[in-house]
Amino acid sequence: MSSDWLFDAVQVEVAYRNEQLRKAGRSKWVGRADTLGRRIRARRAASVVVPEQQQRPVAAPAVTPERTR
């Protein structure tokens, strides 16, 4: 009877450790994917071509009609 209990306890421990390893591997993979995404976005942002800034045309002064009294 005690050997069955010990076998069950070992199986539970193995299942727990496998789950922890799976979680650790998944979080590592997610971290790498985030890093890759940041690098891709940074390259896209760096490759944006900004047109040369031009001066606005100078507006003619407003013409005000002469007032008559």
Q: What is the pTM of this model?
A: 0.38
pLDDT in tens, the chain (69 residues): 567 878 888 889 999 988 888 887 777 777 788 888 888 888 877 777 778 888 777 777 666 667 666
What CA–CA distance (Å, rounded) separates 25 from 17?
12
What is the largest distance, in Å, between two alpha-carbon atoms of the chain?
A: 119
Length of the chain: 69
Q: What is the pLDDT of residue 8?
A: 86
Closest among 9, 7, 28, 29 to 17, alpha carbons compared: 9
What CA–CA distance (Å, rounded) separates 63 from 8?
96
Q: What is the pLDDT of residue 65?
A: 67
Give the count of alpha carbons within 13 A of 19, CB side only: 6
